[in-house]
Amino acid sequence: MSPADRSRRLNLQQRSAMAGEAAAAAAEVEVALDHPVDPTSAAFFDVDNTIMQGASIFHLARGLHRRKFFTTRDILGAAWMQLYFRVAGVEDPEHVAEARNSALSFIAGHTVAELESLGEEIFDEGMAHRIWPGTRALAQLHLDEGQRVWLVTAAPIEIAQIIARRLGLTGAMGTVSEHLDGIYTGRLVGDMLHGPAKSEAILALAAREGLDLARCSAYSDSVNDLPMLGLVGDPCAINPDAKLRAHARAHGWRIHDYRTGRKAARAGLLVSAVAGAAAGAVVAGGSLRRRAGG
């Protein structure tokens, strides 16, 4: 590896660490379990295609566009840039990160309060009915066991916290967009909360809250979340993509699939691609250790 490549990789690692630390710092305890029965054990849930059918960022983007939060040109230009990187197979993560950050400039000048207020409305109209009942029941099992439950998602922290609050979960960690005096600058704090950044966020939260990760659980649909799933003693694949399903089977992980048919599975792949595109445009165990097949 050349010195330039090592420098880029270090820079990416630093941005992932910064994104994780920012997400953990922003994670607020909401309404659930002020005094958990099991304070060292918790559960972490991805959102898109895990808690919610489809991509939360897509539903948020559509709702914001309807409310003139940004123009059609804004979202199409940014989404096209992201979709190109995914479909063309460009693997340089620094280029992808640069594209994501460049797509955030149009939210500059909007207020955090504005996004939070609109997010509440958009959850009611476009997200509430898309929550997977099966995954919601799994989260409730953890709460009933006296464990805290956090969402961990690449979606904006503002919408992640709304989803967590509406579902009665402990809190959420998501992508943090920089803002000054309550106004977005159009830049991210670190990077998207994606892949390795999620594991950094969980590590930071575990250190802060005194969690024993060997006693914690994590749930996701995507092979991209292996860094997060590999941190805990009880990983579980929910509506998994093909690679995650194969990995979960090979390692004896629990698998639950709440979709119906091959068509839904293929649709999930497309939604994931579009979600990644839209993200840049909008963002700034106890009894649960049972092994079950989906």
pLDDT of residue 63: 85
Q: In the prediction, which pLDDT does 272 show? A: 47
3-class DSSP assignment, residue 172: strand
Domain containing 200 equals 18-28+38-289
User: What are 121's two structure tokens?
Assistant: 């409305």
Q: Terminus-to-terminus CA distance in the chain, angstroms? A: 42
Looking at residue 59, its pLDDT comes to 83
What are 44's two structure tokens?
């972490």
Mark whether 181 is an active-site residue.
no
Q: Cβ of 197: how many Cβ atoms within 10 Å?
A: 29
pLDDT block averages, 10 residues each, the chain of length 294: 50 61 55 69 95 86 80 61 45 51 64 89 93 95 94 90 94 89 85 88 94 98 95 97 97 94 48 44 37 39
pLDDT attached to residue 60: 83
5, 34, 38, 46: the catalytic one is 46
Contact 173, 201 (CB under 8 A): yes
* Predicted pLDDT of residue 127: 93
Q: Does residue 2 belong to any structural domain of this protein?
A: no
Residue 190: DSSP 8-state: S
Q: Is residue 155 part of a domain?
A: yes
The answer to whether 136 touches 167, Cβ cutoff 8 Å, is yes
Task: Report the DSSP beta bridge partners of residue 188.
Answer: 177
Residue pair 240/255 in contact (Cβ under 8 Å)? The answer is: yes
Determine contact, residues 130/239, Cβ cutoff 8 Å: no
| Domain-located, residue 117 | yes
The CATH number for 265's domain is 3.40.50.1000
Say whether 92 is catalytic.
no
- Nearest Cα residue to 71 out of 291, 263, 281: 281
Would you say residue 13 lies in a domain? no
Residue 7 lies in a domain: no
Instruction: Report if residue 175 sits inside a domain.
Output: yes
The pLDDT of residue 88 is 43
Distance CA 77, CA 51 (A): 29
Q: How many domains does the chain have?
A: 1
Classify residue 187 by burial, with Cβ atoms within 10 Å: 0-12, 13-18, 19+: middle
Residue 69: its pLDDT value, please? 75
Do residues 2 and 246 make contact, with C-beta atoms less than 8 angstroms apart?
Answer: no
In the set 34, 38, 48, 212, the catalytic residue is 48
> 258 lies in a domain?
yes
- Between the CA of residue 255 and those of 119, 135, 138, 219, 241, what are the distances in Å? 31, 11, 12, 9, 11
Nearest CA to 161 out of 30, 51, 43, 279 is that of 30
Dist CA 91 CA 193 (whole Å): 18
In a domain? residue 1: no
d(CA 122, CA 119): 5
